[in-house]
Structure 1
Amino acid sequence: MSATQSGLSTHDALTNMEYPKKFDVTQWPLEVEAYLARTENPFHRAILKNYLRHLLLEISGYWDQIIVPELTVDDPSYRVGEMGRVHVLQGKEAVEGFYREVFETRINVMGARTMNMCVEDFGVTTEAYWTHIVPGSYLRSEGIDADAEADAHYLMNYNIFQVFTYTTDAKLIGERIYSDFASYQFEKLAPEDVTTPEQAREQLRPLLERATLD
């Protein structure tokens, strides 16, 4: 999905598809921060604080600080759908391995370019037009695009639906994430438009410092 449907009056983000054309790694966390500021329910605020810290740790590459007692239950359960495959992950070791692999393959610079979002007692739901900044070497090694230039970087864009579930004391139980296989699109980035994992960590540092659970 890339074209705006004109003439419709709606708050549906994926109909309007209004987003900056240049990817900004701070955009998604700032939108979640703004959503949190508008949220009054104390339990929902606790969930959103957990969610926000989780996503900032993940994008910043602090993969080993996500599955910890302050944020996550001892035995998390994930279902992650991508590229027509579903990865079923059960337990701390399996889930940490997933985050470690994302970090090691340098595809952790990501975020929602536009999204619908809500929080309820069960957790957080988002539907988004999603992107990762990925090395061409990753696209080639994963068999995603054999023609990708190994030393270039690409935006990997697609539609995604995410459910994050929480306990009644606002600890993450797990994630159910499903991407739309038919929606994947790739854009080669000019070198000056690439945000590396190291740059993302630095840009997100002020947000992470204030994303506490207090």
Structure 2
Amino acid sequence: MTTGNPTISTHDAMTRLDVPPRFDVTHWPSNVEKHLERTEKPHHRAILKNYLRHLLLELSGHWDRIVVPELTVAEPVYRVGDRGTVQVLTGKAEVEAFYRETYEARANVMGARTMNMCVEDFGVTTEAAWAHVVPGGYLREYGHLADADPDAHYLMNYNICQVFAYTSDAKLIGERIYVDSASYTYDKLAARDVVTPEQATRELAPLLARADLG
């Protein structure tokens, strides 16, 4: 007797592990653009436009343009769960500090290498194979990899679930971010594969220029 059905196929990106061999900082926002093109409901389109502009500002290093009235409520609340702790950020000052610290650590080059994504009236939910391009010193300072080469860059990989909640007029209320702490891996990058924050700003500039809220 056989059990199960080996012929079942899936379009689940995480199951198929459809991950590009090289990290590309434009890959994630480009896929969000494609999702937006397929979305018809006006409220869902407004949410995705906010989400897209937010992520492009973050990856481009424009952290001070995210918690603004056009995109975010006055008192956002974030919950970030990772490695057995949950960091709760409340209000503009705490959330901006979160983005500023990531930028100052030169760890704002990141993105989904593959992901499942849905948008509903409440907001956006994603499950992703995530990656950060980070200096070796960052991995040492934040307790990730004690023997990381401080003169090198690494691709820090992990699985993540994110929920972005929005108001009825498509303003971000807050984020709930949960990292699968057992999924971390670290790949030392060759110099040709390093994407610096400055490179990310340049490469994302065309996408940011067309990512309006209208």
- How many residues are treated as equivalent by the alignment? 209
Q: Aligned to 2:76, what secondary structure does the other structure show?
A: strand
Distance of 2:67 and 2:12 partners within structure 1? 32
Aligned to 1:35: 35
The answer for unaligned runs of 5 or more in structure 1 is 1-5
Q: Amino acid of the residue matched to residue 70 of structure 2?
A: E
Deviation at 1:11, TM superposition (A): 1.2
CA distance in 1, matches of 2:164, 2:95: 14
Written as runs of structure 1 = structure 2, the 5 A alignment for 1:129-208 is 129-208=129-208
Which residue is equivalent to 1:3?
A: none
Please show how residues 95-134 of structure 1 align to structure 2 within 5 Å: 95-134=95-134
Identity in percent? 69
Bigger Rg, structure 1 or 2: 2
Distance 2:195 2:169 in 1: 36
User: Structure 2 CA distance, aligned partners of 1:166 and 1:158?
Assistant: 26
- TM-superposed CA distance for 1:209, in Å, is 0.3
Cα drift, residue 7 of structure 1: 6.4
Query: 2:61 is matched with which residue?
Result: 61
**Aligned equivalents of 2:87 and 2:149: distance in 1?**
27
Alpha-carbon shift at residue 81 of structure 1 (Å)? 1.5
Spell out, residue by residue over 1:108-159, the C-alpha distance to the aligned partner (whole angstroms, 9 max, x if none): 0000000000000000000000000010011111121111000100000000
Deviation at 1:86, TM superposition (A): 1.4
Q: Distance in 2 between matches of 1:95 and 1:106?
A: 17
TM-score of the pair, normalised by structure 2: 0.96
Could you tell me which amino acid in structure 1 is paired with residue 23 of structure 2? F
Q: TM-score w.r.t. structure 1 length?
A: 0.96
AA matched with 2:58? E
Shift of 1:29: 0.2
Show structure 2 runs of 5+ residues with no match. 1-5
CA RMSD of aligned residues (A): 1.0
1:182 is paired with a residue whose SS is strand
Which residue identity is paired with 1:108? N
Tell me, in whole angstroms, the C-alpha distance in 1 between the residues paired with 2:71 and 2:160: 23
Shift in Å, 1:8: 4.9
Q: Distance in 1 between matches of 2:204 and 2:82?
A: 25
